[in-house]
Homo-oligomer: A and B are copies of this chain.
């Protein structure tokens, strides 16, 4: 029979088992910390009605949408007709639809997390994905939502990335009201022009200072060289401590209502982040953070790895006025963050920052004598009841080959129950990671392995 070539579509990240273990352990850490902070899981269908999904007028994401048609719908489709269903391109629109649909059944402030895949028809390119995981948390208020929640999200970000143990990081914080107010002080009163300028500021990292200066003093913007110099000087500020950040904010002088509001919010948020348990070393006021999307109206966040700035922001978000104006007349202000887990995993792997090669299988019971199989199976049942993930070699084979299998499969412990051990009531444990071995009474085996495993997974301080 002719065979079809087995291949996946471009732009997806399909992982081999040991890489999948590393990726899953990243998602697990994200979920664990989201739940620690009292966020509730939500999952939405991968498809939404196109009429629900595509409410915004022709943005970039809309051009990237994937449409879905059942076999019947495909056959009945007319030219130029928009298919009824489409795949979600983010988790924000489904959240808005979910909250609007279930508004009367939810308890507000509604604290939800969502870890699911989203779909975008990106141009095929290294590091660009058409299917990727997003890990989002949002707190949604009914009518109003205290700015105090803006201080809680950095605490969640801190807990997640500390747990992931991927090196020093900084949560960068700014406030769009402050930025707008400061631009007013510079003579830029028009909201649309302000937004356009902030979008340019947002490109500083990618385009560099000179290119942005040229754009802002060029025809399209027509800002004076002096104003642009002031602006670039202003947005260059990064606080070195909480006191430094507060001093900078105090030094801005009296300003417009927007500036005063933004400053008051920042002062409260920056102070409270510390009370939420985030060390000063891990967050900063960064006046260049603008977040391109006009969607954000107050606090904005980005998170960067201190040693790997080229990776860019690994967790971003902010405060918005109204989540679901397309679907409900209720006012639902919120604050949220998002981690693009697939891209983050890929970048960390590229940068060599991931510990790989470890299986979820913790122990392999070796096969020494086929007649003793029931004994090996009973040992495995004991281990599993004790919470140890265990595989049994069920067929006879050379011991060296069994060790090679365990090594290649990333299994740490091989358990040997030979006639000696059976006579003595012991088990010999070969620790392939430590390249060590020990013999232990069978009644103490589970506890001994647990101790070894726990030592290897102590959370970073």
> Which A residues are closer than 8 A to B by beta carbons?
1, 3-9, 12, 14-17, 20-21, 24, 35-38, 40-49, 51-52, 55, 62-72, 74, 83, 85, 87, 96-98, 100-102, 105-107, 111-112, 117, 119, 121, 131, 146, 148-149, 152, 155, 159, 272, 275-277, 324-329, 359-361, 364, 373-374, 377-378, 381, 384, 387-392, 394-395, 405, 408-409
Contacts and interface: CB of A to CB of B under 8 A. Distances in A.
Given A41-B360, A389-B35, A395-B148, A48 B9 contact: yes
A36 B389 contact: yes
A49 B389 contact: no
B360 A35 contact: yes
A97 B6 contact: yes
B101 A7 contact: yes
B381 A48 contact: no
A41 B358 CA distance: 12
Given A131-B47, A328-B3, A159 B74 contact: no
Nearest to A159: B384
A113 B242 CA distance: 48
A364 B68 CA distance: 42
What number of copies of this chain does the assembly contain?
A: 2
Nearest to A330: B3
Contacts of A6: 52, 96-98, 100-101, 324, 327-328
Contact of A361 (B5, B14, B40, B378): B40
A376 to B, nearest CB: 9
Contacts of A405: 107
A83 B87 contact: no
28 contacts: A3-B100, A4-B327, A5-B327, A6-B324, A7-B101, A8-B49, A9-B47, A17-B112, A21-B40, A24-B41, A35-B389, A36-B390, A37-B391, A38-B391, A40-B359, A40-B361, A46-B46, A62-B71, A63-B71, A64-B71, A65-B70, A67-B70, A67-B71, A69-B83, A74-B83, A152-B394, A275-B374, A275-B377
Most buried by B among A159, A275, A364: A275
Contact of A377 (B47, B97, B277, B327): B277
Given A6-B96, A16-B102, A66-B68, 10 more contacts: A6-B101, A15-B43, A17-B106, A38-B389, A46-B46, A64-B71, A67-B69, A70-B121, A148-B395, A277-B381
Nearest to A386: B36
Given A3-B327, A17-B112, A35-B389, A45 B8 contact: yes
A55 to B, nearest CB: 6
B21 A41 contact: yes
A221 B17 CA distance: 47
Contact of A360 (B40, B329, B364): B40
Contacts of A55: 4
Contacts of A374: 275
Given A52-B4, A381-B276, A14 B149 contact: no
A128 to B, nearest CB: 14
Contacts of A16: 102, 105-106
Nearest to A55: B4
Pick the 5 closest A-B CB pairs, nearest first.
A38-B391, A70-B121, A6-B100, A277-B381, A6-B327
Given A37-B391, A373-B275, A20 B4 contact: no
Contacts of A68: 66-68, 87
Nearest to A96: B6
Contact of A107 (B63, B102, B106, B409): B409
A380 to B, nearest CB: 8
A352 B29 CA distance: 33
